[in-house]
Chain A
């Protein structure tokens, strides 16, 4: 894949608190923050970092506001969020849990097309408007509803990824895989504790690993996953600016406060078809390959990852899809400590979906915000990076809608 015809940058990233069970502020019996509040907050958060916030376009991603909020025509909220977007082209994007990645991709393409020098890109979801038992029906829309909902588990996606976990246990072994998934969970919470806006920031539970080792139970939940293997329902929003070099100048953003997006890999799979191999995320593998090829780097050049761990098993499989471990070897890789903050390839320094939270439409944008923050030295959980490259994977549905982004620091060593 060719490199971009001109340099593309990301800057001024902002994420709201991701609210859901786990946070002390989460009081569903009382008035909860409205989606308008999340939108306003994230936009103002980004705008504050932009000296001249006159954007050429706006993009907003959300998965199912029409059902969670009975609200459509989401692009109409962009001028509400960012006054300078009044009378500018505004677009809504949807790709299930991969919405954020696709929203970023659209922003990149618009700037590459020269139709815009700068794009305000945002993503949000407010899901706690309904009880989880009904939310599951809505989220099932990320799969092929007509075919899959009836036979699916009451809470749907845990059942889907439980099948993947079951297939993985059968092929590669149960005990070590469970241990790796428990370590993944532990890593998520340890990292979330470093991020004040993370849903699991206030989680002080001791013995995380032992807790996460609880054997799955079909009677209590799903056959091959326990509750610690699952990200929770969240509300939140995130936003970031995508711009050309010219765009950055117009906005008044300096290069050192930006990161360069050097690659974007996108791949889509037929939603009506079952995965060919439950132990592989083939679409993720394709998108990852495209991005690495475009970037002209290899996986070992990547300093850290933000992966789409809606479930611990999906994080583990993503690791193999990107080639960081061979098929069946991700558990070993994880158990060697490689994914920790000071490991070989730190994963989800934000806490990831399991630790930071997962408002479906916001997550992909939040991931890029975290790449940007880490690469510009602004991250809450800042580490010393071994290279200037960070990579994210934004996945929608059961490995159907995947966008991978590789960003590069503009800072001198």
Chain B
């Protein structure tokens, strides 16, 4: 653990940049809604009710009002005080588009910064920029492989679990847990591949994936435990934070911003911790060979 933490500390620069990048990308994605709030929509009582945590009631009211507006019974629910209404659909569409762009940019940012962080963790002393640019092409290719493989693996396990008998609560909860563990393992596997790219200076993402597969085959239990602890735990923590804050009031903006920044910092810190653990695991495995 101390070795992992030591490696993690070397990546703090990359983690800070990743956190800043996430903040900017998230703000970009929710900007349409934010701009609407700053304008007329923010002056409607629904906005403050929503901010108070009563979001589901507001969504019901919006749904009802939109339906009535579509029938020409009432004006658009998001019509502001100015002459031009603020179309809710356009805000949602832009948020979707910008969210997708943000997710893509986030992948690119992580491909860059993870390479830089791994250089630091392996003690090569490269600067962030040099380390990032050195590994960006191959890590980007690895990301493309991920883009296709991960949904297949997730859907495949989901379908397989459907055929497992049992529909009661306990059976469904167990199936859900199995799926989460599986996906945590998939995530960990590709982190392993990422580390191996840097360790072996692979220029082929496929070669790194094959190495990762051989390594997992050699030490499946240890690695499974690692991913379970770090991957599933990360998701659980994120989900808990989101659920616990979702229905609570955001009327204390200081607290709301603190939670948002904690989410960002915690998530990026945890991500780097996983990379550090993966690096340590690889180096230990190599030592043992």
A-B interaction: no
Instruction: Give residues in A with beta carbon < 8 Å to B.
Output: none
Instruction: Give residues in B with beta carbon < 8 Å to A.
Output: none
